[in-house]
Amino acid sequence: MRKIKVAVIGCGTIANHAHIPSYMANDNAEIIYFCDIILERAEAAVKQYGCGIAIENYMTALQDPDIDAISVCTPNNCHSIITIDALRYGKHVLCEKPAARTYEEALEMQKAQAQYNKVLNIGVVNRFNSGVNKLKELIDSGELGDIYQVYVSFRSHRSIPGLGGAFTTKSIAGGGVLIDWGVHFLDIVMYCCGDPMPVTVSSEAFCELGKDLNSYTYKDMWAGPPKADGIYDVEDAITGIIRTKGPIITFNGAWAQNIGKNEMYIDFMGTKAGIRLQYGADFIKYGSQNGMLTETLYTINSDNMFQNEIDAFIECIENNIKLPSHIDTTIITAKMMDAIYKSADLHQEMKL
Ligand SMILES: NC(=O)c1ccc[n+]([C@@H]2O[C@H](COP(=O)([O-])OP(=O)(O)OC[C@H]3O[C@@H](n4cnc5c(N)ncnc54)[C@H](O)[C@@H]3O)[C@@H](O)[C@H]2O)c1
């Protein structure tokens, strides 16, 4: 069988940690191009993985009729442009999360998907996590009763990424901790609760701890060293409430807060039982049986959700399957995040 021929656009962290190794491990996929505007990064990939051609301009890959699919692994400001160009050239697309910087951009992507009728999946990789899928199965089976409230905490003590760089510059990233981390957490909630339509949101956002770029003291700084002359105009903390046609969602998120330790979990509160999911790890089901309180620990032995995601992408191209990560489903989170940011700007509740 002919392999699916792939171009990876953007050869930075997520490409090297997830997309490239996963394509390499998939027998039905073959990477033909590594593309990065910093050509040395594409060249380094060619050398490291022993295949493909290094290119600087993604149009080279799009204009090659042999290419079937692309992974968009660039910063958020390029997601919609590259995705729409790729769809126009008849390529299937897996675009990293968030879909785009704004809901408007995500809508343009969705329109292009419908127009050119190629796959467009968003990198909401937790939908391919075995633990998350087990949790969803428990909710769907009714074991928790009705889920009436969900509490989401994606908070770190002091961990603003690459202060002054792409992650803290609104024109590049579209936002701060909500669009970067929150998107994964809200997506898990949406997925596990059956993608309930949001109705209203109310939120407040803060940009406090890192705003003096020179005096921010931190524990971790991933995504590069601080740039003292860079930009920091996104939120480092955010809180709010989302009413949906399903459960009420309340959330607290922070790249940096003076809280001592990181708190990365989601509580699903059901009428019969509840679950606390530690992000990327185990979960505990809290319930009761025969007059006794019960705690059941679910541990997932080993799981490579990125491999599952890439395998599913390749398979859905071959078999024309619509995945739960399709833009039609995941765009709801883009709409919700847009309303959350508007609510925080206007200090008022927004209707969706
Ligand atoms: N799913 C996840 O858990 C996860 C984790 C990390 C990052 N991400 C997402 O992946 C994306 C990239 O993040 P990263 O941490 O890998 O960033 P990164 O900065 O490490 O890598 C991005 C690369 O894209 C290149 N690039 C920029 N514009 C380009 C263009 N027009 N054409 C080709 N290459 C271009 C840059 O030179 C850089 O090498 C972001 O959208 C981020 O939100 C997702």
SS3 of 333, please?
helix
Nearest to 120 by CA among 83, 89, 146, 154: 83
Q: Average pLDDT of 14-22?
A: 98
Ligand 1 centre to CA of 98 (Å) is: 11
Residue 302 clears pLDDT 80, i.e. is over it: no
Mean pLDDT of the chain: 96
pLDDT at 251: 98
Q: Average pLDDT of 8-29?
A: 98
Q: Average pLDDT of 299-304?
A: 84
* Test site for ligand 1: of 11, 14, 303, 325, most ligand atoms within 8 A of the Cβ: 14
Alpha carbon distance 233, 164 (integer Å): 9
Ligand 1 centre to CA of 351 (Å) is: 32
pLDDT at 49: 97
pLDDT at 301: 75
Shortest-distance atom of ligand 1 to CA 38: 37
pLDDT at 275: 98
For residue range 26-64, list pLDDT tens digits in order. Answer: 999 999 999 999 999 999 999 999 999 999 999 999 999
Ligand 1 centre to CA of 287 (Å) is: 41
For every residue of 75-115, which 3-state class applies, written as one string?
CHHHHHHHHHHHHHCCCEEEECCCCCCCHHHHHHHHHHHHH
